[in-house]
Amino acid sequence: MKEQNYLDHLVGVFGQPVAENPGVVIQDAAFEAMGLERWHFLTLDVDKDKLEDAIKGLKAFKMRGINCTIPHKIAVMDYLDEISESAKLIGAVNMIVNNDGHLFGENTDGKGFMMSLESNGVDVKGKKAVVFGAGGAARAICVEMGLAGAADITIVNRAQDRPLGDALMAILQENTKTECRYIDWDGPFSIPEGTDIVVNATSVGLYPDVEVMPNINLDSITSDMFVQDVIPNPTETALIKELRCRGIPCATGAGMLINQAALNIEMWTGKKPDKDVMYKALEEALA
């Protein structure tokens, strides 16, 4: 007799705003290609003050795991039973694995970022970087670059978020050999000469504000620099489009998104997904 088991395996993402997050597109495509027809990815809008309730719901529904995006990457750590050493160091969690009610937090953002750089032939060891932003994504990126041997990181962010920048600098100073500094972002920022890597780790340019670009003096970005955006939707932000026109080496946030999503799927299912399938699904969805 054919086995009858229609139990759904649920994963997803908590965030706000989250409607424009294309995670469901690439995750569901990966599950289908892997033959995991009862696995489903849910895109869930969660208010800041309802995060604890959402975590209780995750446990109640016995969801296998969840991604956390803006604004929950830091706050969610208060509700977890265990956190990886790298996520503790970063001070932010972007994914959770539910092992029979025991919630384990990990950060795959920075790892996905580093994999994207590597695929573009960029090695951070001994390099100088400028990172825009100081939130969860920026933390992961800066820490991973610091641990990989980046020589110098300049963190550029809004003056009102100075505490976030100071906290990130403290993490880098205490755990890496990277020189670092924080600069208030209060006008068009010019990239210093000698910079090797420029990272937009902010939400500027994210759908639906697709015509907006970070307040950067683009003339200060030269062809010997590499620019990495973290925004996956649209697949090419206004910043990336302009840089391509200028002949500046750059990469979209799609690579970082696909790589971290693949790592998440492997941790949830124990199986490696086909990244090519995930890329194709993302391109088709956002075309």
Condensed to tens digits (0 to 9), the pLDDT of residues 147-194 reads: 999 999 999 999 888 898 999 999 999 999 999 999 999 999 999 999
What are the sequence ranges of the domains in the chain? 9-108+256-286, 110-252
Burial 50-62 (b: 16+ CB within 10 A, else e): ebeebbeebeeee
Q: Return the SS3 of 42.
A: strand
CATH topology of domain 110-252: Rossmann fold (3.40.50)
Quick one: pLDDT at residue 160? 86
Quick one: pLDDT at residue 236? 92
Percent of the chain whose pLDDT exceeds 90: 86
Catalytic residue among 56, 62, 73, 271: 73
pLDDT of residue 125 exceeding 80: yes
Quote the CA–CA distance of 12 and 72 in Å, as a whole number.
Answer: 14
- Segments in 5-78 forming alpha helices (H): 23-33, 51-60
Percent of the chain whose pLDDT exceeds 70: 100
Quick one: pLDDT at residue 6? 86
Condensed to tens digits (0 to 9), the pLDDT of residues 184-197 reads: 999 999 999 999 99
* pLDDT band with cut points at 50, 70 and 90 for residue 287: confident
pLDDT of residue 253 exceeding 90: yes
Q: Is 33 exposed, middle or buried (0-12, 13-18, 19+ CB in 10 A)?
A: middle
The answer to whether residue 73 is catalytic is: yes
pLDDT of residue 3 exceeding 80: no
Q: Return the SS3 of 47.
A: coil
Give me the torsion for CA of 218, 199, 197, 275, rounded to 10°. Answer: -120
For residue 251, the number of C-alpha atoms closer than 13 Å in the C-beta half-sphere is 25
Mean pLDDT, the chain, rounded, equals 95
Quote the CA–CA distance of 180 and 250 in Å, as a whole number.
Answer: 23
The two beta strands, 216-217 and 189-190, are parallel
Condensed to tens digits (0 to 9), the pLDDT of residues 197-226 reads: 999 999 999 888 999 999 999 999 999 999
Quick one: pLDDT at residue 70? 85
pLDDT of residue 235 exceeding 90: no
The type of residue at 55 is: I
Quick one: pLDDT at residue 233? 87
* pLDDT band with cut points at 50, 70 and 90 for residue 142: very high
Hey, do 9-108+256-286 and 110-252 end up sharing a CATH topology, with the first three levels equal? yes
CA angle 242, 257, 278 (to 5 degrees): 105
pLDDT of residue 115 exceeding 80: yes
Class of domain 9-108+256-286: alpha beta
For residues 183 and 215, is the Cβ–Cβ distance under 8 A? no
Both tokens of 172, joined, read 């880098």
Report if pTM > 0.85.
Answer: yes
For residues 201 and 145, is the Cβ–Cβ distance under 8 A? no
